[in-house]
Structure 1
């Protein structure tokens, strides 16, 4: 089978003895057989003495100009295969040690390969990079010296091992460990990564030293920055409390008291209706909202600083304190549960994703393991996201092969073009006048929403034939190709907006009972942006709407069920906030409606929305995890709301102004911890209910002791209050990973649209 040479480095030595005269020079190469996946590339070391002079010269040439000699690669590699001192697949490596050379030249840099087979570990020699006589390394050093930059892209001093590492990173997932910065894991599992995690290191270090103060990488923290944010957090707290205190003082003013006592008096009503009086009141309300948001913003920046600077213990304690999971009367978390929620460091890369599949393109991991990667690490870039989303949206089956997915692509494209798009493109006017009016109204609504869709996003911004900035013949705003927000009379030219329109009209044919409802374009926009294929985006959207249709039902029963669930969840998990919102006439959580309707599409930046959605789509903990994300937003904002806001309009304004102000990663961590706490609490309640039933029937547990005696740190659900909705059918449903599906009833002539 033909092979392609990917990497070559000369003057890589084996030192069999302490005597330099025994050193053996060789070539370190990486090659890949045609048609094989990248992770199955072969790493080999060839001793120079086993090669002919012609073969050696070929490798020297390849080292300096790989493209120039690629045509000869198959023949030369096959002829030298028997000369290999050792060779193994990259996928067969467990870890690689990159030992830096001495700055003063006393020793060479070296690499140590650890295979997944213990037996092979005993046979793999340590390889030393003699950079002083290696042509490619010397050439690279000269280039770096010309630019006055002796460092490689990683920031470390350049040596030959850097080239090897950079090439391997293009082929497999390579992750640096925190236990030893010289050790890199190859295609590490999440368990491997978690074993080398910052939280585990801190825990281990604490158990031996009783201190969290050292930096994981040995750097000295900028104590001024840390102290500054600590002070700012305290100022924010004080300001929030001051705002609440000032509100109380204002309401104690005699004139205010008179107005409140005589609110039914027509003269007082007339006074309060005066525009100037209302303006003062509005300014006061705005100031309260501003104070609440400012205080929250400062605290959030403090948390960001702590996370970004690896002050994981401070952030950990902050979360456990704010989430109420550190008290004596609450459930306890295991270190593993806390660590897992805090570890969002290992993004899914192309190399890691490819390592999940075998030669036929079939998944080698369990689906839950893959979803664990996605939920806790996210997806590295948009190119990879396109492929992963095809699985998350259910277009590709998790057990399919690469060939089956190619065939499925073709089948789905034909089904879209012939089955749905052609149906309306060639549509003739309906004989029923009312039905024809309904159809045109649907198309008008779609056009209207598409034309104002995500205009700040690059591919949707300009109404030109190529979607790029230029002159449009129909755009209202002149030669920029931009859009006139106040007009809906221009013709779509942007190919991406046209694709959105085509998909939504086709979906109208697919699900004529539901039709088009405002907000659907919000859901489709990120899908098309990522997939960039009209037909495949259509099928992603169809599958997405299976779970999202309940948000758009005519009787609003689906979204109402979610609001009821969220209200009960807030009452159970955030009782103080729930009580305060009730006093603000906001217990129905109406201000959360838009966020849940389109999955926070309008509250976060576009890239963040993609990251949030893919976490939800894993159904890793619950098929309704969006409610715990919403609960995390409520929890995060609880103190500013309680301390500053006491009116429905204030709360509504506060949440309506949230776009671009929230940290989605922090909220996802909080949401995960809130779910784990919720699941533990529901488990306690279930056990206590079972025990009560047994007692009422004269039965005892098999151990002969009551549930309270066995509960340990997990105290009674009664500690949370007497009237909590723990038996609610809505809350119990949150523990399920099965997607909740509610379909629209058949459309009638008098259906309200």
Structure 2
């Protein structure tokens, strides 16, 4: 056994009499041959140990009793020491002693000590329902006599930092540091001292319901009766801000011919601006006014109408971010209800549970939580739906964890596979990838004839052209991202390279030069006039060439590099990145078909969805000659890759890859973007080119968390509306059948002569909209390539 933590002078108080207190040690151990998440927690009484064992544990207390706040699972394992088996054997069955897997706990209460010394800090352990064993004793940390705790206090005081993570330090915090690296430990909002162990998402939601008030509590919170009492939570400013809607912009919109000075005067004299000036001490206003994006937009007078729309959107976006960051849930809920809870003459309103579930996205999937999903053989022991619920609503905690999770999301690993089976899969995929990679050289060298093209002729020129296209796009790929930034043999900055290694190396492409929307004839720096030396760019090129050989009918299409780049950035492994990309392209191939039928179907579906869910915006876009939603094409093509920051894209994609609600949830994400921008567009834009420019300028201006919340609620409303229309149609059909029965004796009444109410075709009859309710992946394949294929 490996000993991860040893804390001495941890007592059990069987009674109120101090002389009856039982002194002992709290230990955290793990089997060197078992996963860390199977570690165990022990309390052993000192009176059941011999003196040698006590001395050994006291030495362990000095060595392992002071874990740093930044401790990781790896650092704990590296610092662990071997534990004499006799310690646990001799204390087994002793009075009050216990040993249990940490994962078998439901929660731990960490009760801090009194600052005045009236009581000791303690922990209360709660087993999971159905777990074996009785009630566990409360453990009290006598910090005033524990050597490791006293030493750590002295060290913290010496560094003028007597607090850990904002809390007063005491011995229980050391235990919490270690346990948090073994299992997923989440603090509850209902009780700050209560921490849940490997909690389900439902448990987390239930215990955090206190910070998501029901409608009956909104008025009380808004009136300032809450404990915060801060000015930013007072309703006056927010109500005025929402009512005004920064109406000053409407004045600017009508003053397109006025000078910038005249517009500035108009702005400064507006009552809304005066309201802002009066509330400059408000943290939201201060944050808003110094935001560089807002300042940049204010200086942009390229078009008064576009300026109006962008500036008003910037204000709204900053308000939403502030509400999210400061947990002003009442205000944010009211905003969502107003924006998304419009009356469509249906009973499809949001329930409290639906609003809370959509808003609660603060429980990311951690490494500890992920490990707890699997048993000793590495098989999933919870439902796939539960795992996807965590990912959809909270995302994945780190890039390192994404290396494991995305292999399942992209179906490289089956969800029901074991650890050994996944190792066998890795070996097989490595071998198959090597074979496909070798085929590329044969194709470009002319030694392979294109049997798959159906021509029987040597088409090596075609493959050379494909190679040229791939390398051209790879050279321009995400050059602001660290691993792709420098074209050097090791990917590091040029100043760190030996001079000989820099011969013939192209300069780094600065931010903004990585836009590969241009024609094939681009500038010389990206037109094949320099050799790729960056090892990560070389891997991207290898993967795309191998995929071209693996899927010869499709060929390389611009945009595939955008899809591969985040996958490889996460995996950092050529073989695994290739197979992730292969499975990703199973669903994305429809976006790149030669006849564009796949992306066209999505655009038609989005148009129908917009007409149903956003009728006012749809009608206005029709007036702007933009009813075809052409401006959404690029966003859907590469899944918003160029509209959001690189790190944000990883979070967005893993939400979409869960297929939690629908396999085409990207359309609801797009619908949420349209909904979020609908008011500025309707109020300020009336030309096709204005709409195009507006959406082209959305890059890095949107908070994807807010869009994710809106997209979920939009789907919930869509699902309800579809179900409601289906019930209405069934009711109308039943009424028609009853009318036929009543008039059955009338010979003039024949079957089918009692018509249903006339009107437009109901959306439930649209196969495109019906398909949105399915979680089954939509797959469309390219037809067999021929020498006459248009590319």
* TM over 0.5, shorter chain: yes
- 1:744 equivalent to 2:782? Answer yes
Contact 2:49 2:91 in 1 (8 A): no
Residue deviations 1:276-334, cap 9 Å, x none? xxxxxxx9762321221111111111111112211112111110111134676551122
Q: 1:310 to 1:435 in 2, by over 3 A?
A: same
The counterpart of 1:475, out of the listed 479, 497, 505, is 505
Aligned partner (choices 187, 195, 201) of residue 184 of structure 1: 195
The aligned runs of 1:105-116 (5 Å cut-off) are 105-116=117-128
SS at match of 1:211: helix
Aligned with residue 310 of structure 2, among 273, 290, 293: 293
Mean CA deviation greater in 382-391 or 683-692: 683-692
* Structure-2 separation of matches of 1:150 and 1:723: 69
Contact 2:224/2:233 (8 A) holds in 1 = no
The 8 Å contact of residues 26 and 45 in structure 1, kept in 2 or not, is answered as yes
CA distance in 2, matches of 1:676, 1:196: 24
Deviation at 1:503?
0.5
Measured against aligned partners, the alpha-carbon deviations of 1:325-380 in whole angstroms (never above 9, x if no partner) come to 46765511222111111111100000000010000000011111111110011000
Give me the whole-angstrom Cα distance separating, in 2, the residues matched to 1:588 and 1:209: 40
Aligned to 1:368, the other structure's residue is in SS state helix
Hey, what's the Cα distance between the residues in 1 that align with 2:785 and 2:390?
42
1:211 aligns with 2:220: yes
Structure 1 segment 75-224 matched on structure 2, within 5 A: 75-82=85-92, 85-117=97-129, 122-152=134-164, 154-198=165-209, 202-203=213-214, 207=216, 211-213=220-222, 218-223=227-232
What residue in structure 2 maps to residue 242 of structure 1? 251
**2:350 aligned to which of 333, 351, 354:** 333
Deviations 1:237-264 (A, max 9, x none): 31343344446999xxxxxxxxxxxxxx
TM-score, length of structure 1 as denominator length: 0.88
CA, structure 1 residues 198+302, in 2 after alignment: closer, same or farther (shift >3 Å)? farther
- Post-superposition offset of 1:729: 1.1
1:425 to 413, 420, 441: 441
**CA distance in 2: counterparts of 1:607 and 1:144, whole angstroms:** 35
Distance 1:750 1:170, change over 3 A: same
- 2:9 aligned with 1:11: yes
What secondary structure sits across from 2:6 in the alignment?
Answer: strand
Q: Once superposed, what is the RMSD of the aligned Cα atoms?
A: 2.9
Could you tell me how far 1:230 is from its partner in structure 2? 6.0
Contact kept in structure 2, 1:198 and 1:312, CA below 8 Å: no
SS in 2 for 1:212: helix
The answer to whether the Cα contact below 8 Å between 1:547 and 1:739 also exists between their aligned partners in 2 is yes
Shifted more, 622-631 versus 460-469: the winner is 460-469
Structure 1 stretches lacking a partner, 5+ long: 251-282, 702-716
Relative to structure 1, the CA distance from residue 22 to residue 336 in structure 2 (aligned partners, 3 Å threshold; closer, same or farther) is same
- In structure 2, the CA distance between the partners of 1:455 and 1:210, relative to structure 1 (3 Å rule), is closer
In 1: Cα distance, 2:84 partner to 2:709 partner: 50
Of 53, 56, 59, the match for 2:54: 56
SS in 2 for 1:459: helix
2: CA distance between counterparts of 1:673 and 1:666? 11
CA contact (8 A) 2:222 2:235 kept: no
Note if 1:466 corresponds to 2:478: no
Once the 2 structures are TM-superposed, how far is the Cα of residue 91 of structure 1 from its aligned partner? 1.0
Q: In structure 2, do the counterparts of structure 1 residues 139 and 457 end up closer, same or farther at CA, with 3 Å as the change threshold?
A: same
1:308 to 302, 310, 325: 325
Q: Deviations over 1:217-249 (max 9, x none)?
A: 944434389866665555653134334444699
Cα pair distance change 1:199/1:563, threshold 3 Å: farther
Q: Structure 1 70/322 Cα, relative in aligned 2: closer, same or farther at 3 Å?
A: closer
Q: CA contact under 8 A between 1:114 and 1:121: conserved in structure 2?
A: no
Q: Shift of residue 693 of structure 1?
A: 3.0
| Pairs aligned (count) | 699
CA gap of 1:535–1:69, structure 2 versus 1, over 3 A, is: closer
In structure 2, stretches of 5+ residues that fail to align are 65-75, 260-299, 450-455, 515-523, 742-755
The farther-off stretch of 453-462 and 426-435 is: 426-435
Stretch deviating more after TM superposition (74-83 or 669-678): 74-83
Residue 712 of structure 2 aligns to a residue whose secondary structure is helix
Q: Equivalents in 2 of 1:319, 1:422: separation in Å? A: 54
Q: Distance in 2 between matches of 1:201 and 1:225?
A: 17
Distance 1:478 1:453 in 2: 12
Structure 1 residues 414 and 12: alpha-carbon distance in aligned structure 2, compared to 1, 3 A threshold: same
Distance 1:534 1:94 in 2: 40
> What SS does the corresponding residue of 1:43 show, helix, strand or coil?
strand
3-state secondary structure, aligned to 1:579? helix
Q: Secondary structure at the match of 1:87?
A: strand
Structure 1 residue aligned with 2:661: 621
> In the alignment, is the contact (CA less than 8 A) between 2:725 and 2:762 conserved in 1?
no
CA contact (8 A) 2:103 2:183 kept: yes
CA displacement at 1:24 relative to structure 2:
1.2
CA distance in 1, matches of 2:429, 2:564: 18
Give the corresponding residue for 2:282: none
